[in-house]
Amino acid sequence: MQSKPLLTRFFAVISLILSGLFILPTAFAAGGGGGDSYSSSPSKPYGYNKALKLVKAQKFAEAIPALLKISASAKEDADVQNLLGFSYRKTKQYDKAAKHYERALNLDPKHKGALEYQGELFLTLKDRAAAEANLEKLKKICWLGCSELDDLEEALKNYKG
């Protein structure tokens, strides 16, 4: 009758593995800029969620002053820097966008959103090699896959240079 406890243990291990498959991607998605490449956390500085809503509503020119104000008191927040870069890129202020993506990545070298968006900026500036370098970084970070990796791959695929 030893096979019954062994079988029970086997199913317990399989259950743990399967539950981990559902929990693990969720944990990775919560990382720096995961999911839709911005973060929304209760630990963010005052005004962050309002600025994030402006960005999501594509009101980038309105979001920039709000994000700059937040950035003044949250200099070490990679998400704020990423959103500033994104908003500047969307308003075609590419030099400023580049500066803020660089700051975001200095604060968090594995910030998925900043890597994706900086890669898209590189394509706008006709620097395919730099965009591909960002894609390689995302492949290492997103070994289970992520939307930022998918989006940058798609942008590279559609790049006409």
- All structural domains of the chain, each given as residue ranges with its CATH number in brackets, are 42-158 (1.25.40.10)
Do the beta carbons of residue 124 and residue 104 sit within 8 Å? no
Cα separation of 150 and 141, whole Å? 13
* Mean pLDDT computed over every residue of the chain: 84
Q: pLDDT, tens digit, for every residue of 46-82? A: 999 999 999 999 999 999 999 999 999 998 999 999 9
Q: pLDDT, tens digit, for every residue of 146-157? A: 999 999 999 999
Q: How many CB atoms lie within 10 A of CB 99?
A: 15
Cα separation of 92 and 90, whole Å? 5
Say whether 40 sits in a helix, a strand or coil: coil
**Among the listed residues 125, 126, 155, 161, the one whose alpha carbon sits nearest the alpha carbon of residue 138:** 155
Which of the four pLDDT bands, split at 50, 70 and 90, describes residue 6? low
User: Global pTM?
Assistant: 0.74
